[in-house]
Amino acid sequence: MSIITSNNQDEENKTLVRQYYNTFQGKIAKTHSAQIFLNDEKFQNALNLILKSNLLLDEDYLNIVDDIASRNEPRDYLSRIFQRLNAVCMEEKAKARKIIDKIYNHLECEDDYEFEIKEICEEINTFYKNLAKNQINYVPKNGMISNVKVKSKEIATAIKTAKKACEAEDTTECLLLFSHDPIRKMEWLCDLLDEVEKDANDLKNNIIKKKEKLVVNSLNEMSDENINQLIIKKNEYMDICGRLEGKNVK
């Protein structure tokens, strides 16, 4: 990404593509509108040609040295990108596998991701509703559950795409699969799971603290005589257990 965005190269390339495929509408005036009307057919044909070539360029083209320095910039730019392709694929695969593993911990089957995601959303909804009924104030981020449920099909497709990308041995195939941005879409579900896990752990810790406080308060309310009786009973119990185990525990 640092190579792509260096020296504002990404914005310059975007502007170049827009200017090249822009189609003027109406009368041509001295001042031009900032609105772009792409020649979609021409643009799609060029894009399909690139995809059919598997994003590969003739090595001889990359080795050309032009007398005009500015003409060498695109080739230098592409060379630096190609040098990073394998590393980028490995990084994307590692990130995707980590997210897939996390999602699989919550899925009961791998046949129908969309159905499973909707089921998870329903269970999470029930979890928060039960908390609300018991006047326990935990609320998920606004629209988080409904957003994942609505996009369950998109997330399910992203999981399948990411799996294919992780299994792809060809660098170009891997990059083309990751170009659909499956990681970002899977993260919608992961963010929700993280939020619920955080609330569940926080709730668990609060319950433990309240239980400890109740025990302390109960002991404080007991008389010294009752406490001594409990200690005696405990020692008697431990002594019996020790004898049963063939040990003298005190």
User: How far is residue 47's CA from residue 21's CA, in Å, rounded to a whole number?
Assistant: 12
User: How far is residue 49's CA from residue 41's CA, in Å, rounded to a whole number?
Assistant: 12
pTM above 0.75, yes or no: no
Angle at 158 between CA 154 and CA 159, to 5 degrees: 120
| C-alpha separations of 59 from 65, 82, 173 in Å | 12, 11, 19
User: How far is residue 182's CA from residue 223's CA, in Å, rounded to a whole number?
Assistant: 64
User: How far is residue 63's CA from residue 72's CA, in Å, rounded to a whole number?
Assistant: 10
Locate all alpha helices (DSSP H) within 169-247, ordered by sequence: 171-178, 182-221, 224-244
pLDDT in tens, the chain (250 residues): 454 555 666 677 777 777 777 776 655 555 566 677 778 888 888 878 777 776 666 767 767 777 777 777 777 777 777 778 888 899 999 999 999 999 998 887 677 899 999 999 999 999 999 888 888 888 888 889 999 999 999 999 999 999 999 999 988 889 889 989 999 999 999 999 999 999 888 888 887 877 776 655 555 555 566 556 656 655 655 655 555 555 444 4
28 sits in which H/E element: none
